[in-house]
Amino acid sequence: MANQPAIDPMEQFVVHKLVDLPPLHVGSLVIDMSITNSVASMIAGALILVAFFALAARREIVPNRGQAVAEALYNIIDRMLVRPILGEAGRPYVPYLFTLFLVILVLNLMSVLLAVFNVAGLNFTFAVTSQLAVTATLAVLTFFSVFILGFVKHGPKFLGLFFPSGMGVIGAILMAPIEMLSYFVRPVTLALRLFGNMLGGHVVMSLFGSFVVALGLLGLSGGIASLALVPSAFSFALIVALTGLELVVAVLQAFVFAALATVYLNEVVNFGHGH
């Protein structure tokens, strides 16, 4: 039997060009403007969100299903995160947190729901949130936006965040480097959490998907090899279960990202007093 090509579960994360466009020159900087599979998936996610809210924002007295879903998603951020953590002072930040939650949620769900077609060799989506560059960008943008907001609202007093109270001058000075390290490592952990969860889930699903195809083809060859249909069917059942689990993880990780961003905002919005 001819040698079969090795199955590489990481191949699904390779970024490649779909549309080659001329580069943009900004001084000595050359920016590649080509549309990759990653960019195409992000554009598709943005279009899905725009289309959804264009259809849902009807302002009807009796909300339709789309409007009810949109309001439910908004309440997740407003009533479950912003009001309990930030209070009324946090209302101006709901739009950003809501957008952050929805972008991650849609990209996560796209990568899971459309990944089932990968079993048939069809690539209809790209796991954008399985790319560290994307999750790191969201994390750094969120973190430094909060950090800059802290200085805008409180000025140099915001540096008091790194000097724990009640420890005396010497103790506070000794603890300041540790506090700063733990503070500035936040975007790293924020990016890695989303990246790791989505990457791991897609790798496992890809491995079991390859088992389904490989063992299924072996079982169809007849004879004693037909016993391979049993583990193939078992692998398929595991894929169904893993897909359900991945959908839960997709929603949960979007919520966790938004929740941590809200907690970071709380240190700015309610700086200097408990809430």
Quick check: is 241 in a domain?
yes
Quick check: is 157 in a domain?
yes
Tally of CA atoms within 13 A in the half-sphere of 132 that contains its CB? 6
Angle (CA) 9 14 236, round 5°: 30
Residue 14 DSSP one-character state: -
Q: Are 143 and 136 in contact (CB under 8 A)?
A: no
Quick check: is 3 in a domain?
no
257: buried, middle or exposed (CB in 10 Å: 19+, 13-18, 0-12)?
A: buried
What pLDDT shows up at residue 118?
57
Q: How many domains does the chain have?
A: 1
Note down the domain range covering 69: 11-269
Quick check: is 124 in a domain?
yes
Instruction: Please give the Cα distance from 141 to 116 (Å, whole number).
Output: 32
CA dihedral 158→159→161→164, nearest 10 degrees, is -140
Quick check: is 89 in a domain?
yes
Q: Are 81 and 258 in contact (CB under 8 A)?
A: yes
Quick check: is 50 in a domain?
yes
Quick check: is 194 in a domain?
yes
Kindly report the pTM of this predicted structure: 0.86
Amino acid letter, residue 138 = L
What pLDDT shows up at residue 117?
60
Give buried/exposed letters for 18-35 (b at 16+ CB in 10 A, else e): eeeeeeeeeeeeeeeeee
Residue-by-residue pLDDT tens, the chain, 275 positions: 445 445 667 777 888 888 888 888 888 888 888 888 888 889 999 999 999 988 887 766 777 788 888 889 999 999 999 999 998 888 999 999 999 999 999 999 998 887 666 555 556 678 899 999 999 999 999 999 999 999 998 888 888 888 777 677 777 778 888 888 888 899 999 999 999 999 888 888 888 877 887 888 778 877 787 888 888 888 888 888 888 899 999 999 999 999 999 999 998 988 766 44
Quick check: is 232 in a domain?
yes
What pLDDT shows up at residue 275?
41
